[in-house]
Each structure stands twice: as C-alpha cells, then as structure tokens.
Amino acid sequence: MTKESFVGGQSAYQLDDGSYSIDAGENDIRAIYDQENAEIKFFCRYQRDMNFYDKKLMAFATKHGIDTKPCTVSSEY
C-alpha cells in the first residue's frame, strides 16, 4: 500500500512505539496492527487530514478487494 499510495513509493517501516510509518516519512498517518483482532488501524496526525487519507485507504481497499468493516476514523492513538 505504501509503495502504491504515498509519496515516493517507499516501503512502510516500524517505529519505536510499534506503529508503522506508511507515508514515506511525512508522519501524518500511522498504521498499527492489532494482532488480537487481526486488523490494521490507521491514525491521522491531524484531524483535517482524515478525509484525505480515508479516501486513499478506501480506494486501495476497493482496488484490491479488501473487506472494510465499519470503522471510526481517529486523529489520536
């Protein structure tokens, strides 16, 4: 997803807090893998960016046939 949808096409990498940088170091959105529930949660740094990233994530999920269950977008983690 990071190579296809974000700046520079860079890979995601894990940060010290366990979250993943997925936007080529811009630090505006993070992904956290919830192993217990087998789901990936996304958190925006700024509330103003949530709609922008939600559209990117939904487009990626639709293109790749990924099931998206109802979710709540958050600007905090």
Return the pLDDT at 23.
Answer: 77
**Between 5 and 22, residue with greater pLDDT:** 22
Q: Compute the distance between CA of residue 70 and CA of residue 22 in angstroms, rounded to an integer.
A: 22
Among 52, 9, 8, smallest CA distance to 28 is for 52
Return the pLDDT at 21.
Answer: 81
Q: Supply the DSSP string of 62-77, one letter for each residue.
A: HHTT--------BS--
Q: Domain residue spans in the chain?
A: 2-63
The whole model's pTM is what? 0.68
Return the pLDDT at 48.
Answer: 93
Q: Compute the distance between CA of residue 56 and CA of residue 16 in angstroms, rounded to an integer.
A: 25
Over residues 8-66, the pLDDT tens digits come to 666 778 888 888 887 777 778 888 888 898 888 888 889 998 898 888 888 888 888 88
